Homo-oligomer: A and B are copies of this chain.
């Protein structure tokens, strides 16, 4: 699959791919060599036709009466997801959820290297084997080390300035835990942002309990 195709994926497909990847990863670790869209459907709770459509988008075409080759699916989806590229990341903000993220296995599991942590209130302390640096060093650090991803878990109000500094330094993706919307780079469409918004998620759950 060509890089240009990946950039054109509809957001719905892109959002479902990590889930496909998790399940197919488990199959890959087992003895299953091939799987049909209807088997995937009952595992995932997504219709078989949706699955066929999504997988055809990334060039994975199952064969009538055979299904999909598990190994091809695993490597094909992994490629689209950039699993083996080895992106570099920094983390800003270590009070609250940031501290849990610094030591979280998610980075290693997905081939992302967390290189440094920044927090003015905790400068000089150690976390997950890293010495915490002041925020004012973040921009130069990202530029020098060619950092791809900013994990943003700073306190309310700091997010816009930190995001802007990272974007100036060439960061292309922000994983945003602050609950604030990131506007830096939005106009130019040069920045990818994935939001983990705890407030919105909890409210969404509560609304379904009414």
Contact = CB atoms under 8 A, between A and B. Distances in A.
A130 interface: no
A203 B87 contact: no
A188 interface: no
A93 B205 CA distance: 19
Interface residues of A, number: 57
A22 B204 CA distance: 12
A198 B201 CA distance: 13
Nearest to A174: B205
Contacts of A96: 100, 103-104
Interface string A99-127: 11101101101111000000000000000
A206 B6 contact: no
Interface stretch (A12-20, A29-37, A136-144): A12-20
Contacts of A6: 207, 210
B172 A192 contact: no
A81 B15 CA distance: 24
A208 B195 CA distance: 13
Contacts of A179: 22
A149 interface: yes
For the complex of A and B, 7 pairs with smallest distance between CB atoms: A18-B200, A192-B208, A194-B205, A82-B206, A18-B203, A100-B100, A82-B210
Interface of A: 3, 6-7, 9, 14-15, 17-19, 21-22, 45, 80-83, 85, 87, 96-97, 99-101, 103-104, 106-107, 109-112, 148-149, 172-173, 175, 179, 181, 186, 192-194, 196-210
23 contacts: A6-B207, A7-B210, A17-B203, A17-B204, A18-B203, A22-B200, A81-B206, A82-B203, A82-B210, A83-B206, A85-B209, A85-B210, A96-B100, A97-B101, A99-B100, A100-B100, A106-B198, A110-B203, A111-B206, A112-B206, A173-B205, A192-B209, A196-B196
